[in-house]
Chains A and B, each alone.
Chain A
Amino acid sequence: MGATHFGRNQLIHMDMFTDAYRVTGRVLVGAGGIHAELANPSSSFLELKDAYISRIHQPGEIVTHYKVAAFSKDNINFIVLQDRREGIPVGTQHGRSIYTRGRALSVFLTVPSFEISGEIMHDGKVAPREILVQSVGRYQLVFSAKALASLYPQISYSGDLILVQKDRIGIFCLDG
């Protein structure tokens, strides 16, 4: 999918992971991408259309399918996107957006069942606490990222952007 256009809603494909499941489906997002949808305070659920559910240890096999499924935002560990523009506004008329400003830092972090590595963009003091507190919203953005299943290291997921729920982060390591 191309860049999101201001004021236009569109369906994007995404892979979403809970503790035990991989769910692939489509979500309707606006100009702010999925990040804005996750931050929307008017709903605690994320609604997916055409949700295909797989188990974490057999992620290629589809267990079941539903036309519509709602997921509690609290239970989402991370979301994998193939194009960062589907997740966040990457730029404004005046340059990079608040999500893509700063310098790139290599990061390694863990969430239940997964290890995630990639790059984060940060403008300020290089310290895990600072980064997690300063970054906008309840999801940490990891660019050019890879998520590896801790118990099944042969299973991995790559994405241009992975959004990781901050509350679910167990270990957060920086290389900068």
Chain B
Amino acid sequence: MAKIFIIDDDEQLLRMVSLMLERGGHSTRLISNPVEGLQAVKEDKPDLLVLDVMMPGMSGHDIARDIRANKGLENLPILILTARAQEIDRETALKSGANDYLSKPVTSQELIEKVDELLSQPNQKMMPDRGVIIGMFGLRGGVGQTTLAVNLASALRRISQQEVCLVDFSPSGGQVALHLRLQLRHSWLDLPPLADLDWLALKGNLTLHPSGLRLLAAPQVPQLATEPSPEMAAKVIDLLQKQSAFMVIDVPRLFGPAFMAMMERVDIALHVLTPDVISVQTAVQLNRLLEKSNLKFKQKSYILNQVQVDSQIPQATVEKGLNARVASKINFDPNQARALSQGVPLTLTSAKSPLATMMNRMAEVINNRVAKRSGD
């Protein structure tokens, strides 16, 4: 449950937005005077601010600028909600320091989705100076982890137009290349010994997808299972981080030293699970293992991926089991079977399918944060 402040001079709208957010499980504070609202934000820092633009005395843009100039509030997620619905209004809102923008009228679902998305965003301070590393992980197979990793990487490449690298460290028979229908010449198994491993050697083992995405693949043909050493995994990640704006790692489902070496380096850890009992139990067990290992994530979120038509257990039950909120829920996407057979990720084709919509949104959020940081 997040503490959300809403500043809007329209009291009827304030109550409506508050009702929507409270139904979404958040607590709200309503402020109709913009000057008082700004003061309240400074005094009692909320987790998120919903802000109107057109208010007498002080516009929402002015409030956003003031907040951004305030030490300690630079990273407060701000959602602008306004009747000004033009593209130029969106641009102005983002320039003033808001993280996102919605135009009125807004549906309850739109608002809650946007708020949850902002709340699950990584904190700007957590981002390193070099490429951002996103780790998709989980110990249960069949939850769509590879599908999500491929789609997120493709979306990041398309949206950012920067170097994006996808890493498949599977010990044997990696699936990422199949998702992208790539004929592989190299895999991480072909990398030279640690002492000889440098960027040039690594680059020669990357496979380029037509979208511009680079892939460090796992061997396509099943081999005797071999895990990369933790030192090898760490060095590969460090080298790739220097050369890429974003790196997405499809972390192998094998809890061990290599797994830990990868997870220690990720900036955004995305724990993938499906809405079924075994998946939740596996996630809880993995959490215990990670706790025992004293691994502290800079940012961790849960992705609930519905890979079957029917959901076994509702999201609320999953959250209860995890004792944490699910940041993103992806509904069953019938288009995924076609995407897999065609070897083209949904984020490169079906922009409106559930999976593509969610992954594109996630990529946009990550990219916007990094772009904003670079602009500061």
Contacts and interface: CB of A to CB of B under 8 A. Distances in A.
Given A1-B105, A13-B83, A65 B54 contact: yes
Nearest to B94: A60
Given A61-B61, A62-B61, A157 B86 contact: yes
Nearest to A154: B88
Contacts of A62: 53-54, 59, 61
Contacts of B95: 60
Nearest to B92: A60
A60 B59 CA distance: 11
Contacts of B93: 60
B130 to A, nearest CB: 33
A60 to B, nearest CB: 3
Contacts of A67: 56
B92 A15 contact: no
Given A50-B54, A62-B53, A82 B59 contact: no
B34 to A, nearest CB: 11
Contacts of A82: 85
Contact of A156 (B53, B83, B87, B92): B87
Among A50, A62, A82, A155, chain B packs the most CB atoms within 10 A around the CB of A62
B89 interface: yes
Interface residues of A, number: 18
A128 to B, nearest CB: 28
Given A61-B92, A65-B54, A65-B56, A24 B83 contact: yes
A1 B105 CA distance: 7
A15 B86 contact: yes
Give chain A's interface secondary structure class.
strand
Given A1-B105, A50-B54, A60 B91 contact: yes
Give chain B's interface secondary structure class.
loop
A58 B87 CA distance: 13
A5 to B, nearest CB: 17
A59 B88 contact: yes
A106 interface: no
A15 B61 CA distance: 18
A15 B82 CA distance: 13
Contacts of B85: 82
Given A60-B89, A60-B91, A61-B92, A24 B84 contact: yes
A97 B61 CA distance: 41
A158 interface: yes
Interface string B57-101: 001010000000000000000000001111111011101000000
Contacts of A156: 86-88
Contacts of A15: 84, 86
Given A61-B92, A62-B61, A158 B54 contact: no
Given A62-B53, A65-B56, A158 B87 contact: yes
17 contacts: A1-B105, A24-B84, A50-B54, A52-B54, A60-B61, A60-B84, A60-B89, A60-B92, A62-B53, A62-B61, A65-B54, A65-B56, A65-B59, A67-B56, A156-B88, A157-B86, A157-B88
The 8 closest A-B pairs by CB, nearest first: A60-B92, A13-B83, A52-B54, A62-B59, A60-B88, A157-B86, A59-B88, A65-B56
Interface of B: 53-54, 56, 59, 61, 83-89, 91-93, 95, 104-105
